[in-house]
Amino acid sequence: MQDCEKTTPAVELRGVTQRFGDYTAVQGVNLVLTAGEFVAVVGPTGCGKSTLLNVIAGLRPPAAGEVRVFGRLLTGLNRRAGYLFQQDALLPWKTALENAALGLTFAGVPRAEAYERAAAWLAKVGLAGFGDRYPHQLSGGMRKRVALAQVLIMDPKILLMDEPFSALDVQTRQLMENELLRLWEEDQKSVLFVTHDLEEAIALADRVVVMSAGPASRPIGEFPVPLERPRDVTEVRLTEEFLGVHREIWSLLREEVMRAHGQV
Amino acid sequence: MARFKVRSLQFALLLTVLLGWELSVRLGWVDAFFFSRPSDIAARIYEWFVSGEVYRHLWITLLETVLAFLSGTLAGVALGLWLALSPTAAAVLDPFLKALNSVPRVILAPIFTLWFGLGIASKVALGFTLVFFVAFFNTYQGIREVSPVILANARMLGASGSQLLRHVYLPSATSWILSSLRTSVGFAVIGAVVGEYLGASAGLGYVISQAEGVFDTTSVFAGIVVLAVFVVLLDVAVNLVERRLLVWRPEPGQEGGTV
């Protein structure tokens, strides 16, 4: 990743603050996501991690500060970013195939071509032959796969992920995490992965950013993850290095978690 | 098997009520002048259909129902769309719509007859005022309740305003509108029949009203039975349309689906 240092960051936040009425969710956030980097953001619940993603996605402009995407000031929606939401975001009235092809349909790609490419993507996420199912006919893990295909088919340079696997059972979750790493290693998108699960963050990311407890939360620590790639998220958890990084980050995160709970 | 059992019990219940009614009249417990008799009523309905005189009335009522249903639904959906997507217009019109919706529609029947005459137009207008609000409120609600996450997702995937309307807002509202179709059809029938009842020259409501005028209880009950069957058949038709259009919706208990 050395030569990436010279290129413009994929995302750069400078002094970003976001408020909802009187409540300040995040304050004075500075954050850099280098091109091709996989960064995980962890923090206690209610620390404004999702708020940060929405700001970068351009869904809600920040109350103060600025967002730069590949060096350019972000106004309106972030067209370079794909967003994988925590909740189900598929259109329930469209089949898996139609859902996967949605972005292409919006872009005006002819139907036959859009469906062909969508079918290829469904196969890529392990859902070949499930194209004619409606979301309610799929399991939670399968719906996440469709959502992943729906986002990746648009080939976004930046991938924003908001606890995308938190609703899945542990086995499905580790399967999906490995799948994500495999897909990411194919073309090295810049990924900002938000989670409250420290183990997941370390297993996936190049760098882990710790947020303080809300309100007015901000990053309070950054830790590089010196684990080799390609990784297997299940096996990597058992290594000495993993435990070392985990111990280091947890000593910082624990206080914030305690604070978040003290306030509840 | 359970289905067969339910069906036989339903049949037995119907038979008991009809036999009890028939016997009560025949044994002189109740007066046939006020209550007629199931056998007479059946004979009267048979007569109507054999002579063919009932078809004209059925056709008129059906036409009024369908016209009221279609016009009311279209107008209601259009206004619902507009107000849901334009908060200012919604805020301005809200008290007026609530006031209009609170008017009991029967009151309007005479004035519609005055404006639109004794023909089908006044009945369609009455049905329209009923159906319109059902369609309007459901469309409005359906659009307002589109999941913000689904909306954000579609926007992130590059949907334009009109694409959001076509792929997200309308399908979402459609399920609401379709679930209210039954209510709408029922209201359209009420509009038509009440309108006919209060002043018309044809239709099932007119038939019943005429029979009541000459104390012909047999024809009154016959008219009610025909009307009830008519509504049940419409309901079946609506049910078919609903199933066809909502294939994507989970059956109760099917959520989560296959693994």
**Residue with the two structure tokens 């972000």:** A74
pLDDT of residue A262: 75
Q: Which residues of A touch B254 (CB under 8 A)?
A: 136-137
pLDDT surpassing 70 at residue B139: yes
Residues B222-230 have a mean pLDDT of 91
Q: How many CB atoms lie within 10 A of CB A146?
A: 27
Phi-psi region of A126 (alpha: psi -120 to 50; beta: other; left: phi over 0): left
More confident residue, A46 or B210: B210
pLDDT band for position A22 (50/70/90)? confident
A205-234 pLDDT, tens digit each: 999 999 988 788 889 899 999 888 888 988
* B257/A102 Cβ within 8 A: no
- pTM score: 0.76
Question: Which token pair is B58?
Answer: 């059925």
Map tokens 């992130």 to a residue: B156
Contact A113, A121 (CB under 8 A): no
In the predicted structure, residue A116 carries a pLDDT above the cut 90 = yes
B257 touches chain A (CB under 8 A): yes
Size of interface A-B (CB pairs under 8 A): 85
For chain B, which residues make up each domain, given as ranges? Answer: 42-245
B249 touches chain A (CB under 8 A): yes
If you average pLDDT over every residue of chain A, what do you get? 89
Q: Is the pLDDT of residue A2 over 50?
A: no
- Any idea what the Cα angle at residue A143 is, between residues A139 and A147, rounded to 5°? 170
pLDDT digits (tens, 9 = 90+) for B177-222: 887 888 888 899 999 999 998 888 889 899 999 998 899 999 999 9
- A93: closest CA among A142, A146, A135, A141? A135
DSSP string computed for A74-140: P-SS-TTEEEE-SS--S-TTS-HHHHHTHHHHHTT--HHHHHHHHHHHHHHTT-TT-TT--GGGS-H
The sign of the torsion formed by the CA atoms of B99, B105, B107, B113 equals: positive
**pLDDT at residue A252 above 70?**
yes
Residue of B nearest to A147 (CA): B153
Q: What is the pLDDT of residue B88?
A: 92
Give CA–CA dist B7/B15, Å, rounded: 12
Please tell me which residue of chain B has the smallest CA distance to A77.
B156
Q: d(Cα B194, Cα B198) in Å, to the nearest integer?
A: 6
Residues 6+ apart with CB under 8 A from A48: A18, A25, A26, A211, A214, A215, A217
**Average pLDDT score over residue span B211-239:** 90
Looking at beta carbons, which residues of chain B come within 8 Å of A135? 248
Q: Does B149 touch chain A (CB under 8 A)?
A: yes
A116 near B CB under 8 A: no
Hey, are the CB atoms on B150 and A91 less than 8 Å from each other? yes
CB atoms within 10 A of CB B207: 27
Environment class of B2 (CB within 10 Å of its CB; exposed 0-12, middle 13-18, buried 19+): exposed
Assess if CATH 1.10.3720.10 describes domain B42-245: yes
* pLDDT higher than threshold 90 for residue A124: no
Portion of chain B with pLDDT greater than 70, in percent: 96
Worst-scoring range by mean pLDDT, A48-52, A130-134, A258-262, B59-63?
Answer: A258-262
DSSP state for residue A254 in the 8-state scheme: H
pLDDT attached to residue A1: 43
